[in-house]
Amino acid sequence: MNWLRGKKTYMVAAMMVAISILNIMSGEESLGTFVSSPHFNTLLEGIGLGTLRAGVTKSVFR
């Protein structure tokens, strides 16, 4: 399981973003309702999680 070291957070962030994008692409919601839905918050949280992990990697492993 050593190959997963440092990649688990990126996988979770990618899944969060993918699920949110699939919800808008499925056609069940319009863009206006998507922005006000919890799926949009999940999208932003996934992007933020990936960005946070990238920042921690750069500062800790230097």
Residue spans of the domains in the chain: they are: 2-57
Q: What is the rounded average pLDDT of the residues 56-62?
A: 67
pTM above 0.75, yes or no: yes
Q: Taking the alpha carbons of 12, 17, 18, 19 in that order, is the dihedral positive or negative? A: positive
- Measured distance CA(55)–CA(38) in Å, rounded: 26
**Cβ count near 13 (within 10 Å):** 20
Residues 6 or more apart whose Cβ sits within 8 Å of residue 39: 19, 20, 23, 24, 29
- What are the tens digits of pLDDT across the range 28-50? 778 888 889 888 999 999 999 99
**What is the tens place of the pLDDT at every residue in 1-22?**
788 887 888 999 999 999 998 9
pLDDT tier at 61, thresholds 50, 70, 90? low
Residue-level pLDDT at 4? 80
Q: What is d(CA 47, CA 57) in angstroms, rounded to the nearest whole number?
A: 16
